[in-house]
């Protein structure tokens, strides 16, 4: 990652910002501090913590809302956690646990950087980008955008990263829907592109071997995957176009911040991103498909 990635402008900026900010955001899913905070709040099991903490901004929603907004998990995975989670801890307590967990995790991973002038400047620029973005058609982003901004700079920066994560994610779900790709098919395509082995993605998202095979057959009928599950030329072209469209739809914050602000933010993010990676804050490869920062 480098400041030069933003200088090219266009949707390449959206992809560069996603790689940087997603690295910070994803710490909440892997950090032991977050898992401990969810247990202390009364939630049971890692997946209950995940589904409840990411959806709590929407209130005590039923499983169907989480299925719709998270999109690619098998419904039975969601139903094992939601709505039971709200009986163990109401959404406000879950959100408090989430922020407490990521606060502790970032203090461990980023060290003295959290108290630096650079952290405060990065948080200010990221907030400038995300404030006032149109929530239309972006339900998860809208819910998180309605939350108040935390005051410590490192938490404000993490909140901005979360907002962009859901802003972009909502756009990607829209693109999948337009292309007629269901949740299981999305993972078959990701595996076909080499993101992670199919067996890993299938089990991680709760799909059975039979459901995976059926999804693969449907994609073969569309001539998007081969017999062995790899992408065909047409399948790769469709995936590339979908990724490009996602990036295009995610440019609003960066047009608002402007080229100079984007270049400065990327430069400021270089150190904390590298600290997260070097501290083992997230794994590579990962189910999201986030690549490790380049040298």
Which residue did the predictor score with more confidence, 294 or 292? 292
- How confident is the model over 81-107, as a mean pLDDT? 98
Q: What percent of the chain has pLDDT over 90?
A: 92
pLDDT the model gives residue 293:
83
Q: What percent of the chain has pLDDT over 70?
A: 96
* Burial of 28: CB neighbours in 10 Å, binned 0-12, 13-18, 19+: buried
CA distance 117 to 39: 34
Confidence band of 65 (pLDDT split at 50, 70, 90): very high
CA distance 72 to 181: 10
pLDDT the model gives residue 1:
39
Chain mean pLDDT for the chain: 95
pLDDT the model gives residue 6:
43
- How confident is the model over 2-29, as a mean pLDDT? 79
pLDDT the model gives residue 292:
86
Confidence band of 8 (pLDDT split at 50, 70, 90): very low
pLDDT the model gives residue 294:
74
**pLDDT exceeds 80 at position 2:** no
């Amino acid at each position: 990652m480098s400041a030069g990635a933003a200088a090219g402008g266009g949707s390449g900026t959206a992809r560069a910002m996603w790689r940087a900010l997603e690295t910070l955001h994803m710490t909440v899913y892997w950090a032991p501090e977050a898992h401990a905070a969810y247990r202390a709040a009364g939630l049971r099991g890692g997946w209950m913590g995940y589904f409840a903490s990411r959806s709590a901004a929407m209130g005590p929603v039923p499983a169907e809302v989480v299925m719709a907004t998270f999109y690619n998990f098998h419904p039975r995975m969601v139903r094992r956690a939601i709505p039971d989670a709200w009986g163990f801890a109401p959404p406000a307590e879950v959100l408090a646990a989430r922020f407490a967990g990521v606060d502790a995790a970032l203090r461990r991973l980023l060290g003295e950087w959290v108290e630096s002038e650079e952290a405060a400047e990065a948080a200010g620029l990221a907030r400038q980008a995300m404030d006032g973005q149109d929530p239309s058609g972006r339900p998860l982003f809208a819910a998180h955008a309605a939350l108040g901004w935390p005051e410590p700079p490192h938490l404000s920066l993490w909140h901005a990263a979360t907002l962009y994560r859901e802003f972009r994610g909502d756009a990607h779900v829209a693109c999948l829907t337009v292309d007629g790709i269901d949740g299981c098919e999305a993972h078959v395509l990701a595996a076909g592109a080499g993101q992670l082995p199919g067996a890993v993605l299938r089990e991680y998202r709760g799909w059975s071997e039979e459901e995976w095979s059926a999804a693969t057959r449907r994609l073969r009928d569309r001539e998007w995957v081969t017999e062995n599950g790899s992408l065909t030329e047409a399948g790769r072209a469709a995936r590339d176009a979908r990724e490009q469209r996602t990036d295009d739809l995610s440019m609003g914050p960066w047009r608002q911040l402007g080229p100079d602000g984007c270049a400065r933010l990327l430069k400021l993010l270089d150190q904390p991103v590298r600290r997260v990676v070097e501290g083992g804050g997230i794994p590579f490869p990962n189910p999201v498909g986030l690549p490790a920062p380049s040298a």
